[in-house]
């Protein structure tokens, strides 16, 4: 979790009185503003079929990757833009072209420079977008196939890109361009760094496991078996528990890092395609795209705290708590 964003969010209480939930609505090509009780307040149009979404370090802006297709399995050239949303004004203020780089998927913010780091699937690249100049500043060949999710370290030195069809993770040095391919499980997808930055956890959809990568050694060090088809993964505030969304089993799973075992499951009766955690590590948010449902999970209690329907046909993907401006 980026320090600036962590300090921003945890400076207020994560309650319905202080914050809203921002939902990337993949099917509707919008981002939606909701209360924690599920009241729909507003929606902002972005590019076609946005996938991932990240907040600026000050929490004022959201950025979406306008992938142009609904799923990784869908063929086609796809889109090539990133949308900038002003969360105070609730409007799109920019749409940045990525040029020849299509099907942008993963996105993160470099916590040092504020630049966006974006993975594209067509071709497989890591793209750096200067948010001030609103342009592509640099690109890196990931050397993998179907580059999916990107996670940047707290020092802004290394970016980690999961490559779904080559079963590895690209560790890319953002200054030198050095790229190290690290083996992962089958179809690596989501990823999250431990607070100390020493371990990257990667969810692997087809081998049904979380793989742990030692970021210093740049190698896989252990595996944790999970429920079926874990798509995204997050961490509790104390870094002791992994939380992940399993599409096929329609569950959110919990794994203990110390024992390296799955320890609990929460049944959703809906297929979660996304999972994000609040910066204070108290809540996990899962979006069930096909059921137009958002789940708020209490990490401490390991149960559903709230759930609500989005607007019909929204297709919710990532969810982020945001400040009420």
Instruction: Give the start-to-end residue ranges of the domains of the chain.
Output: 3-323
When the pLDDT of each residue in the chain is averaged and rounded to a whole number, the result is 94
* Residue-level pLDDT at 70: 87
* Residue-level pLDDT at 139: 98
* Residue-level pLDDT at 3: 40
* Residue-level pLDDT at 13: 44
Q: Is the dihedral of CA 177, 170, 165, 111 positive or negative?
A: negative
8 A C-beta contact, residue 190 and residue 202: yes
Residue 224 to residue 236: CA distance in whole angstroms: 16
* Residue-level pLDDT at 75: 82
Q: Is the dihedral of CA 53, 57, 59, 63 positive or negative?
A: negative
pLDDT surpassing 70 at residue 197: yes
pLDDT surpassing 80 at residue 16: no
pTM of the model: 0.94
Q: What are phi and psi of 12, to 5 degrees?
A: -125, 160
195 vs 75 pLDDT, higher one: 195
pLDDT per residue as tens digits for the range 246-290:
999 999 999 999 999 999 999 999 999 999 999 888 999 999 999
8 A C-beta contact, residue 237 and residue 243: no
Token pair 């020849």 is at which residue? 100
* Residue-level pLDDT at 208: 98
Q: What are phi and psi of 110, to 5 degrees?
A: -70, 115
Q: Would you state the structure tokens that stand for residue 159, as one six-digit string?
A: 């970016």
pLDDT per residue as tens digits for the range 66-77:
999 988 888 889
* Residue-level pLDDT at 263: 98
pLDDT surpassing 90 at residue 17: no
Name the band, by pLDDT with cuts 50, 70 and 90, for residue 15.
low
pLDDT per residue as tens digits for the range 40-66:
999 999 999 999 999 999 999 999 999
* Residue-level pLDDT at 76: 85
Q: Would you state the structure tokens that stand for residue 307, as one six-digit string?
A: 């759930």
Helices within the chain (DSSP H only): 3-10
Q: What length does the chain have?
A: 325
List residues bridging with 43 in a β-sheet: 32
Token pair 């990240």 is at which residue? 54
pLDDT surpassing 50 at residue 145: yes
Collapsing DSSP to helix, strand or coil, 251 comes out as strand
* Residue-level pLDDT at 18: 87
Residue 274 to residue 246: CA distance in whole angstroms: 9
pLDDT surpassing 80 at residue 1: no
* Residue-level pLDDT at 74: 83
Residue 45 to residue 227: CA distance in whole angstroms: 35
As a CATH number, domain 3-323 is 2.130.10.10
Average pLDDT for 74-89: 94
Q: Would you state the structure tokens that stand for residue 98, as one six-digit string?
A: 């990525």
Q: Would you state the structure tokens that stand for residue 146, as one six-digit string?
A: 């179907």
Q: Please return the burial class of 118, using the count of CB atoms within 10 Å of its CB with bins 0-12, 13-18 and 19+.
A: buried
Residue 65 to residue 96: CA distance in whole angstroms: 10
Average pLDDT for 122-140: 97
């Amino acid at each position: 979790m980026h320090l600036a964003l962590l300090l921003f969010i945890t400076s207020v209480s994560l309650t319905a009185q202080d914050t809203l939930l921002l939902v990337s609505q993949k099917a509707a090509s919008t981002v939606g503003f909701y209360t924690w009780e599920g009241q729909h307040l507003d929606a902002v149009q972005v590019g076609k079929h946005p996938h991932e979404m990240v907040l600026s370090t000050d929490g004022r802006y959201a950025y979406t990757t306008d992938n142009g297709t609904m799923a990784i399995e869908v063929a086609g050239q796809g889109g090539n833009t990133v949308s900038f949303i002003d969360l105070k004004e609730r409007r799109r203020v920019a749409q940045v072209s990525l040029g020849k780089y299509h099907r942008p998927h993963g996105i993160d913010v470099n916590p040092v420079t504020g630049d966006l780091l974006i993975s594209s699937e067509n071709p497989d690249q890591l793209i750096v977008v200067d948010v001030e100049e609103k342009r592509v500043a640099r690109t890196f060949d990931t050397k993998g196939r179907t580059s999916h999710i990107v996670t940047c370290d707290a020092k802004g030195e290394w970016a980690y890109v999961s490559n779904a069809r080559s079963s590895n993770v690209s560790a890319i040095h953002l200054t030198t361009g050095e790229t190290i391919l690290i083996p992962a499980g089958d179809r690596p997808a989501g990823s999250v760094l431990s607070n100390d930055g020493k371990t990257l956890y990667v969810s692997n959809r087809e081998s049904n496991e979380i793989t742990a990568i030692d970021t210093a050694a740049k190698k896989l060090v252990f595996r944790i078996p999970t429920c079926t088809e874990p798509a995204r993964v997050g961490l509790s505030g104390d870094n002791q528990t992994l939380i992940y969304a399993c599409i096929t089993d329609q569950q959110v799973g919990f794994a203990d890092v110390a024992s390296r075992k799955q320890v609990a499951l929460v049944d959703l009766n809906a297929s979660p395609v996304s999972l994000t955690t609040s910066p204070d590590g108290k809540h996990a948010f899962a979006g069930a795209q096909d059921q137009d449902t958002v789940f708020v999970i209490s990490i401490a209690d390991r149960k559903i705290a709230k759930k609500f329907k989005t607007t019909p046909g929204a297709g919710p993907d990532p969810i982020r708590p945001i400040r009420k401006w």
